[in-house]
């Protein structure tokens, strides 16, 4: 038994096989699963066991996962990850609007799920501010505003730099269009997604030359939802 | 104007059979008679007043013409000079005016030329003969002309009737849908019979206070349609309608309806056959493509439960479960995409989309190892409105397809603007596709022949899904292949006018 308390993760799915699998996967990654098979049970357990994060299936027998997110969000800001299926684009968008932080498409690999969980837990327990973020060949110096790609300095406009900085600080986490617009331009610019896409495209041209396509990418697109920085 | 002229002619006209056709008269053109008689033989008979005037002039001219001729020939023989007048009038204005001209000619000849001139006594028996000759000629010519006229009228009316029948047949049989042809058919009937209006309805229709309902029946006596005409039509038009037009219409509507039924049955049969084909293909896919990975999963699961496993074996078996189940999941996703597309349930959720995002997302989603994908986006490519998630799945399927069949050589994806279209090409350098196969590769469950030998190939659904999502977003996809050189898929999507935003350098 480890001495430090393991972070607790509420897992809500009506499929017992999935709960069983997730319990093992979470235990293996150093978390403790708090399983619930209905929305009501999840809401109760969230209050009693005070988990650090939640993984919630979109389809539950008594209410939908979006409703669970909405009701949890009324009193807790723990990271919430939704399990969705391919083709549920509408539900994804509604879940994010209802307060979910991220989603994972079923079937998911344990590594992907754990990476999302860790990235989102970082939000509530921020790491000490790093002044330099290094990923692959990309080096971002948040203090001096210098970005290097394979050692060569890349010239970014202030907006492009801020965009990259917001993405990199939240690496691995889904940043919705709105998150990025508010983070870079401030409140009141939450709807102008077209401007965002143009700046992302320009940023990509500078840090991700075409030759890198298909290989490692720094900025990933979640179509219709947002972007995330490669973890 | 026409009807008043016709009425005048009716009072004068001898042949009651002609009366039946008087409405048709307006449509009748020149007959094949001698040109001189052609005018007379038109349905529009010359005015009788004009006839009287012409008769008077002709008789006067003949009478005057005889004076100089009296020095050349015996007077009695000169009676023939009146014959052209009688002929002319009888031909043009009919029997009765011809007889009248003959009588007047006789009287004029007698009065002006036959001795004793100046009175109407007939001194010579020969003079009676000439008068009788005039009358006989007038009667004969008038009768023949009348007969010719009535024959011509009849021929014309037959022709008009045949024209009408042909027109009706054309309307009813040429159209794809009988119901829609009814209005034009009714208009033809109205035009053909000079009716103000006519309507044709399938099934029984009720007569109204001002409209007459004439039932059309099929061979078994069932009412199949109703012809509705104004109650104010003349009795003889109605008679003609019932005797000539309705039987034709009955036959035509019956044929048209039967054709409709057969056509509907043919379409239904084709649909059934097609859905049968799809069901068979789905069944085949389910029985093979689903069962194979399932078998592997079940076997690996059992093996994992045995006691004598080394760590390496356990890892291997667990990898089998994950791999095979993932393949299964991908297939299920594709089947769902396809069924959504086929059920018409893939309405796009449109928003502004950037092609860079789209291509990046599609290539990010590629699983497993494979040849590299190069993305080339022209700087001038604008954003456009589409469903990003659907297009991403379309492109991901195309990339997956290119990686599977493109050998190990790199794949190039290029996006550029061409007028009001965005053109995305996905080019591989694989062995290419036979021309014979190009038509079929977009069909669900069709797999390239070159892939038959591979142990595991795609589901055969990727291109069908790609095409479905691209078309759902108003685009098109075509394929171009050079065997031995590679294959290009060309996607064309509509882009609306978009204010250009600055591109920073």
Q: What pLDDT, in 10s, does the model give residues A126-173?
A: 666 778 888 888 889 988 899 998 888 999 999 999 999 999 988 888
pLDDT tens for each residue of A32-55? 999 999 999 999 999 999 999 999
The pTM of this model reads 0.57
> Cβ contacts (< 8 Å) between A194 and chain B: which residues?
352, 383, 501
> Cβ contacts (< 8 Å) between A219 and chain B: which residues?
360
Q: Which residue of A has its CA nearest to B505?
A: A202
Return the percent helix, strand and coil in chain A, to nearest 5.
40, 20, 35
> Cβ contacts (< 8 Å) between B333 and chain A: which residues?
85-87
pLDDT of residue B127: 67
Asked whether this complex has an ipTM greater than 0.90, the answer is no
Confidence at A87, pLDDT banded by 50, 70, 90: low
Going from the C-alpha of A110 to that of each of A104, A205, B481, the distances in angstroms are 11, 32, 40
Q: Which residue of B has its CA nearest to A155?
A: B505
Confidence at A216, pLDDT banded by 50, 70, 90: low
> Min CA distance, B168 vs chain A (Å)?
54
Q: Is B361 on the interface with A (CB under 8 A)?
A: yes
Give CB contacts under 8 A, 24+ apart, made by A149-154.
A149/A206, A149/A207, A154/A206, A154/A207
Q: What letter does residue A39 receive in the DSSP assignment?
A: H
pLDDT of residue B45: 58
Distance CA B314, CA B54 (A): 123
pLDDT tens for each residue of A104-128? 988 888 888 999 999 999 877 666 6
B460, burial (CB in 10 Å: exposed 0-12, middle 13-18, buried 19+): buried
The size of chain A, in residues, is 231
Positions of chain B with pLDDT under 50:
1-44, 451-456, 499-500, 502-505
> Min CA distance, B479 vs chain A (Å)?
23
Residue with tokens 């009807």: B3
> Cβ contacts (< 8 Å) between B361 and chain A: which residues?
220-223
Chain A to chain B Cβ contacts (< 8 Å): 91
Note whether B202 and B215 are within 8 A (CB). Answer: no
Q: Is A17 on the interface with B (CB under 8 A)?
A: no
Q: ∠ CA(B28), CA(B34), CA(B38), 5° rounding?
A: 35
């Amino acid at each position: 038994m480890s001495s430090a308390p393991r972070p607790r993760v509420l897992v809500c799915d009506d499929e017992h096989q999935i709960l069983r699998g997730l319990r093992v996967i979470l235990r293996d990654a150093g978390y403790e699963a708090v399983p619930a098979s209905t929305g009501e049970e999840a809401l109760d357990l969230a209050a009693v066991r005070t988990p650090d994060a939640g993984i919630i299936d979109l389809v539950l027998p008594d209410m939908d996962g979006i409703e669970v997110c909405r009701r949890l969000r009324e009193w807790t800001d723990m990271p919430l990850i939704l399990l969705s299926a391919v083709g549920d684009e509408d539900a994804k968008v509604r879940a994010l609007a209802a307060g979910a932080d991220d989603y994972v498409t079923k079937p998911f690999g344990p590594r992907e799920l754990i990476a999302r969980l860790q990235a989102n837990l970082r939000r509530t327990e921020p790491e000490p501010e790093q002044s330099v973020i290094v990923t692959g060949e990309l080096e971002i110096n948040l203090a001096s505003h210098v970005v290097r790609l394979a050692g060569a300095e890349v010239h970014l406009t202030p907006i492009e730099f801020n965009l990259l900085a917001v993405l990199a600080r939240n690496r691995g986490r889904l940043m919705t269009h709105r998150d990025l617009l508010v983070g870079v331009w401030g409140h009141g610019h939450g709807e102008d997604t077209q401007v965002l896409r143009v700046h992302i495209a320009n940023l990509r041209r500078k840090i991700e030359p075409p030759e890198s396509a298909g290989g490692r990418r720094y900025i990933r697109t979640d179509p219709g939802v947002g972007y995330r920085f490669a973890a | 104007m026409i009807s008043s002229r016709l009425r005048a002619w009716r009072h004068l006209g001898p042949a009651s059979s002609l009366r039946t056709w008087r409405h048709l008269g307006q449509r009748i053109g020149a007959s094949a008679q001698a040109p001189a008689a052609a005018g007379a033989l038109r349905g529009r008979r010359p005015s009788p007043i004009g006839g009287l005037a012409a008769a008077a002039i002709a008789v006067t001219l003949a009478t005057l013409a005889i004076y100089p001729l009296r020095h050349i020939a015996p007077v009695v023989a000169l009676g023939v000079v009146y014959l052209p007048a009688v002929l002319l009038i009888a031909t043009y204005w009919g029997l009765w005016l011809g007889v009248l001209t003959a009588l007047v000619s006789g009287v004029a000849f007698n009065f002006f030329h036959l001795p004793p001139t100046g009175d109407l006594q007939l001194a010579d028996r020969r003079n009676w003969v000439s008068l009788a000759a005039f009358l006989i000629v007038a009667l004969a010519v008038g009768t023949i002309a009348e007969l010719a006229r009535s024959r011509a009228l009849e021929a014309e009316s037959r022709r008009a009737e045949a024209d009408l029948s042909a027109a009706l047949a054309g309307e009813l049989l040429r159209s794809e849908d009988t119901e829609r042809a009814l209005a034009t058919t009714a208009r033809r009937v109205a035009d053909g019979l000079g009716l103000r209006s006519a309507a044709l309805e399938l099934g029984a229709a009720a007569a109204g206070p001002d409209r007459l309902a004439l039932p059309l029946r099929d061979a078994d006596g069932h009412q199949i349609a109703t012809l509705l005409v104004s109650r104010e039509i003349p009795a003889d038009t109605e008679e003609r309608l019932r005797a000539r037009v309705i039987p034709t219409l009955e036959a035509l509507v019956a044929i048209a309806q039967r054709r409709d039924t057969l056509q509907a049955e043919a379409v239904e049969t084709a649909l059934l056959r097609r859905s049968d084909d799809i069901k068979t293909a789905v069944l085949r896919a389910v029985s093979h493509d689903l069962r194979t990975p399932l078998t592997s999963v079940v076997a690996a699961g059992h093996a994992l439960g045995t006691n004598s496993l080394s760590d390496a074996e356990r890892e291997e078996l667990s990898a089998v479960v994950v791999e095979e189940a993932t393949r299964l999941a991908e297939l299920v996703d594709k089947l769902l995409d396809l069924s959504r597309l086929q059920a018409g349930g893939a309405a796009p959720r449109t928003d502004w989309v950037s092609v860079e995002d789209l291509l990046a997302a599609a290539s990010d989603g590629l699983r497993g190892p494979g040849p590299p994908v190069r993305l080339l986006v022209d700087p001038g490519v604008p954003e456009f409105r589409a469903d990003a998630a659907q297009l991403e799945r379309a492109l991901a399927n195309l990339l997956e397809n290119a990686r599977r069949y493109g050998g190990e050589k790199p794949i190039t994806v290029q996006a550029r603007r061409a007028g009001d279209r965005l053109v995305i090409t996905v080019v591989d350098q694989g062995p290419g596709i036979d021309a014979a196969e190009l038509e079929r590769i977009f069909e669900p469950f069709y797999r390239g022949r070159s892939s038959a030998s591979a142990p595991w190939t795609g589901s055969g659904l990727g291109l069908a899904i790609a095409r479905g999502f691209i078309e759902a977003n108003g685009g098109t996809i075509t394929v171009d292949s050079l065997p031995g050189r590679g294959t290009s898929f060309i996607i064309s999507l509509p882009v609306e006018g978009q204010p250009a935003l600055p591109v920073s350098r």
